[in-house]
């Protein structure tokens, strides 16, 4: 896709020049490193000869003055030679020592990450033992048709690379079980950051995010995410069949009972569940019309499918998890009007009976939400239903006018 963009802009020569400049920079850096390596190598190779020359010179003087015999001279000389060779080998491996230190630091970093993962696995297993009988079938029975009670209490957040720049400022938001809350506002106002916090890609800098009254930081990420599904603006499809991509959504439950650790097998996912998820996502009619059906390859990054088809497959992948909390991050903003209509129908089906938090630029997709939170510079400026916010004649009203969503508002 990048090649097409460059060709359409007639920038081939400019791109080639920048590429050559990049290669020249790499070559100059390599030459600088090579110079130091050559210096150390020459020192390492010359030390043994320097030691031999020094030994012959000084030993010859001692023998000539009678202080040492010839036998003593050769004993000491050989000791000096072996010492020089040892020193030469030491300098020869100085670069390897540096590489080894880097590798050791990397290994220790991985071990620290593994300790965090093991800690979460322990939390999950302890929670499973505490709630006996919490298998996938019991979980489905207990939580069927129920959503998560989500609350954000005075949440503040700043990204680790910019700790002084607060993205969220005192966010208070209550999403009841089975309700849908839409987050709207200008780009960069913090809407997608809220989704990242709910998915636990990050934890709040201050404040608390609660799920069913429990601080999500006290829940293992793996166990918490079994109840959460995310549909992004640009869905990621992997090279494989439609069956493979939809079935991936169920694999978070494979080790819930402490069993399967290999990520699951496609054969373990009943086709009836995949079909049901595809029907709920409004994509099954299209799949059934394909010669290979569910075994149709998606191609690299799903490029053999249209944007709307990729989005609906991503929705099916989310639904097969049977999530209690559905997160929609601008799921229809990159689609044309016809595809948006079909995907919106799929999202409406997906949101039924689930707690849903949706980020949207197109207000037509969220006007029927139970509540709409209008973000402005990292805080919630307005909160209410579509009709309530239009009546306030505030920021949301201006957005409605800008999109010509409600003629009555004028």
pLDDT string in tens for the chain (410-residue length): 577 777 777 778 888 888 888 888 888 888 877 888 788 778 777 776 777 788 788 888 888 888 888 888 888 888 877 776 777 677 767 777 788 888 898 898 888 776 666 555 555 555 544 444 444 444 444 444 477 889 998 899 998 888 888 889 888 989 888 888 999 988 888 888 999 999 888 889 998 999 888 888 888 788 888 888 888 888 888 888 888 888 888 755 444 444 444 444 444 678 888 888 888 888 888 888 988 888 888 888 777 788 888 888 888 888 888 888 988 888 776 666 776 777 777 777 777 778 889 888 888 888 888 899 999 888 888 898 998 898 988 888 888 888 775 444 44
**337: Cβ contacts below 8 Å, ≥ 6 apart:** none
**The listed CATH number (3.40.50.10860, 1.25.10.10, 3.30.428.10, 3.40.50.300) that belongs to domain 144-409:** 3.40.50.300
- In this structure, are residues 207 and 173 in contact, taking their beta carbons and an 8 Å threshold? no
pLDDT digits (tens, 9 = 90+) for 124-181: 555 544 444 444 444 444 444 477 889 998 899 998 888 888 889 888 989 888 888 9
DSSP 149-188: -EEEEEEEEE-TT-TTSEEEEEEEEEE-TT-EEEEEESTT
DSSP code at position 297: B
Q: What angle do CA 288, 292, 298 make, to 5 degrees?
A: 95
Torsion of CA 23, 26, 32, 34, to 10 degrees: -90
Q: Burial level of 65, CB count in 10 A (0-12/13-18/19+)?
A: exposed
Domains of the chain, by residue range, sit at 2-92, 97-132, 144-409
Q: What angle do CA 38, 44, 50 make, to 5 degrees?
A: 125
Q: What is the pLDDT of residue 366?
A: 83
Torsion of CA 229, 191, 358, 326, to 10 degrees: 20
CA–CA separation, 284 vs 294, rounded Å?
9
Q: What is the pLDDT of residue 334?
A: 61
- In this structure, are residues 190 and 378 in contact, taking their beta carbons and an 8 Å threshold? yes
């Amino acid at each position: 896709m990048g090649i097409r963009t460059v060709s359409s802009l007639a920038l081939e020569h400019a791109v080639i020049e920048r590429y050559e400049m990049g290669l020249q920079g790499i070559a100059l850096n390599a030459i600088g490193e090579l110079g130091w390596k050559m210096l150390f190598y020459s020192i390492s190779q010359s030390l043994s000869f320097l030691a031999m020359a020094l030994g012959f010179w000084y030993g010859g003087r001692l023998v000539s003055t009678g202080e040492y015999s010839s036998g003593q001279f050769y004993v000491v000389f050989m000791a000096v030679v072996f010492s020089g060779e040892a020193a030469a080998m030491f300098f020869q491996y100085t670069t390897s020592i540096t590489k080894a230190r880097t590798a050791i630091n990397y290994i220790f970093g991985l071990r620290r990450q593994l300790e965090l993962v093991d800690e979460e696995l322990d939390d999950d297993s302890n929670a499973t033992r505490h709630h006996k009988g919490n298998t996938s079938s019991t979980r489905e029975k207990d939580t069927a048709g129920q959503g998560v009670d989500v609350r954000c209490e005075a949440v503040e957040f700043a990204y680790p690379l910019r700790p002084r720049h607060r993205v969220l400022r005192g966010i208070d938001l209550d999403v009841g079980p089975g309700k849908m809350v839409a987050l709207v506002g200008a780009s960069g106002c913090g809407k997608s950051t809220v989704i990242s916090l709910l998915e636990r890609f990050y934890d709040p800098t201050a404040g608390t995010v609660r799920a069913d009254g429990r601080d999500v930081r006290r829940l293992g990420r793996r166990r918490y995410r079994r109840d959460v599904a995310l549909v992004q603006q640009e869905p990621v499809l992997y090279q494989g069949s439609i069956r493979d991509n939809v079935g991936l959504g169920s694999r978070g439950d494979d080790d819930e009972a402490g069993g399967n650790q290999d990520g699951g097998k496609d054969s373990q996912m009943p086709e009836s569940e995949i079909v049901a998820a595809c029907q709920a996502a409004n994509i099954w009619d299209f799949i059934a019309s394909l010669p290979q059906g569910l075994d149709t390859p998606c191609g690299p990054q799903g490029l053999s499918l249209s944007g709307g088809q990729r989005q609906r497959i991503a929705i099916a992948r989310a639904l097969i998890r049977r999530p209690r909390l559905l997160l929609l991050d601008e799921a229809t903003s990159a689609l044309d009007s016809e595809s948006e209509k079909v995907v919106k129908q799929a999202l409406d089906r997906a949101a039924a009976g689930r707690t849903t938090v949706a980020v949207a630029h197109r207000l037509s997709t969220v006007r029927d939400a139970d509540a709409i939170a209008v973000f402005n510079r990292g805080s919630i400026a307005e909160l209410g239903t579509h009709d309530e916010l239009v009546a306030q004649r505030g920021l949301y009203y201006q957005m409605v006018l800008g999109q010509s969503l409600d003629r009555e508002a004028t």
